[in-house]
């Protein structure tokens, strides 16, 4: 069945009942003009290939989603291999990004060498580039998870593959075990042999932050979004993920609030300061508009 764009009634149903929430949060969850409709998929786009029914707030909340608690409350990033300055996203930026988006304590673990003795590796049969087997990394992360970890996310500039029959994979996760690994290698225009331009690093930082937030949200049992053009939309190629906004729609924001329980004004303020310091100016303007709306000014 081809994808159809949900109508307002379906969207309101997916957002769920907001009547018991604070007034600012109720305002934040109204499906207004600041949220763009999900675009109709072009051939090759995620929803032209995948049939996704969507996950309403009620479905999410009723399925015992993973949530941080007093015992498992830290989001860990584990760098795998080198993050050379000038051709990698800054690890501190990734940390600040996760802190702002998930309102949780984020710690960077000591970096682990991408060694053949530790992980299965190969040269890609077509391109010849070095690759690491994701399943080995996931079991390593599981073994090395600190006791207070809500999740441990391996981040790397090395290329990954999920099995011999595959060319490559951007990342792989085992959300039930709270581990995942994501490569930013292919978000660098230089990976494809294009020259590194002045704004390549900005693009790499921006793409890496977006993928980090999208993938981390899956750790909270938040599935792909079909209700708006949203950071949680599935993506099948780089142009599609580049087009995704950097924010969550009201359906996904309601889910994240259920998971981490923030004050929405504080949340958007924190995101605003992060976006401004990261140079995500368009996003900072969007957040400032949302804050005005939520505060009723």
**215 is annotated as an active-site residue:** yes
**Burial bucket for residue 282 (CB in 10 Å: 0-12, 13-18, 19+):** exposed
Residue 287, SS3 per DSSP: helix
Burial of 253 (0-12, 13-18, 19+ CB in 10 A): buried
Nearer to Zn ion, 103 or 249 (CB): 249
Minimum CB–partner distance for residue 266 and Zn ion (Å): 21
Q: Which of 232, 256, 278, 287: binder of Zn ion (CB under 5 A)?
A: 232
Which residue number, 37 or 261, has a Cβ lying nearer to Zn ion?
37
Distance of alpha carbon 28 from alpha carbon 35, whole angstroms: 11
Q: By C-beta, is 48 or 123 nearer to Zn ion?
A: 48
Least Å distance, CB 26 to Zn ion, is: 17
What's the closest the beta carbon of residue 94 comes to Zn ion, in angstroms? 17
Distances (CA, A) of 226 to 133, 213, 250: 31, 17, 12
Please give the residues from 233 up to 262 whose contact with Zn ion meets the rule CB under 5 A: 249, 251-252
Binding region for Zn ion (CB under 5 A) out of 27-35, 149-157, 159-167, 232-240: 232-240
CA-nearest of 103, 135, 104, 102 to 217 is: 102
The reply to whether 25 sits near Zn ion by the rule CB under 5 A is no
Instruction: Tell me which of 206, 215, 240, 283 is the catalytic residue.
Output: 215
Instruction: Determine the longest span between alpha carbons in the chain, in angstroms.
Output: 59
213 binds Zn ion (CB under 5 A): no
The distance of closest approach from Cβ of residue 107 to Zn ion in the complex, given in angstroms and rounded to an integer, is 24
Burial code (b: 16+ CB inside 10 Å, e: under 16) for 16-53 equals: bebeebeebbebbbebeebbeebeebeeebbbeeeeee
CA 253 to chain centroid: 13
Is residue 230 at the binding interface for Zn ion, with CB under 5 A as the rule?
A: yes
As to burial, measured by CB atoms within 10 angstroms (0-12 exposed, 13-18 middle, 19+ buried), residue 147 is exposed
The window from 43-51, 96-104, 175-183, 219-227 that contacts Zn ion (CB under 5 A) reads 219-227
Q: Which is nearer to Zn ion, 52 or 105 (CB)?
A: 52
Nearer to Zn ion, 205 or 235 (CB): 235
Binding of Zn ion by 219 (CB under 5 A): no
Find the radius of gyration of the CA atoms of the chain: 19
- Site size toward Zn ion (CB under 5 A) is 6
Return residues touching Zn ion (CB under 5 A).
225, 230, 232, 249, 251-252
Q: Catalytic residue positions?
A: 215
């Amino acid at each position: 069945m081809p994808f159809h764009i949900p109508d307002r009634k379906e969207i309101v149903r997916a957002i769920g009942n907001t009547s018991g929430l604070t007034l600012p949060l109720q305002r934040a969850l109204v499906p207004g003009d600041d949220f763009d409709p999900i675009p109709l998929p072009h051939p090759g786009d995620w929803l032209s290939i995948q049939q996704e029914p969507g996950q309403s707030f009620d479905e999410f909340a009723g399925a015992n989603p993973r949530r941080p608690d007093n015992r498992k409350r830290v989001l860990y990033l584990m760098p795998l291999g080198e993050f050379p300055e000038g051709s990698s996203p800054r690890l501190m930026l990734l940390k600040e990004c996760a802190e702002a988006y998930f309102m949780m304590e984020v710690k960077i673990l000591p970096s682990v060498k991408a060694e053949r003795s530790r992980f299965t590796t190969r040269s890609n049969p077509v391109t010849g580039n070095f690759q690491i087997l994701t399943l080995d990394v996931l079991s390593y992360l599981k073994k090395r998870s600190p006791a207070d970890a809500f999740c441990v996310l391996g981040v790397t500039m090395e290329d990954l593959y999920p099995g011999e029959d595959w060319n490559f994979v951007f990342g792989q996760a085992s959300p039930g075990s709270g581990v995942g690994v994501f490569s930013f290698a292919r978000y660098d225009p230089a990976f494809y042999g294009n020259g590194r331009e002045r704004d390549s690093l900005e693009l790499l930082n921006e793409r890496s932050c977006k993928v980090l937030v999208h993938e981390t949200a899956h750790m909270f049992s938040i599935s792909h979004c079909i209700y708006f053009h949203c950071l949680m939309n599935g993506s099948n190629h780089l142009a599609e993920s580049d087009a995704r906004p950097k924010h969550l729609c009201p359906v996904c924001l309601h889910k994240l609030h259920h998971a981490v329980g923030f004050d929405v004004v504080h949340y958007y303020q924190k995101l605003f300061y992060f976006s401004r310091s990261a140079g995500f100016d368009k996003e900072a303007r969007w957040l400032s508009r949302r804050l005005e709306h939520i505060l009723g000014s």
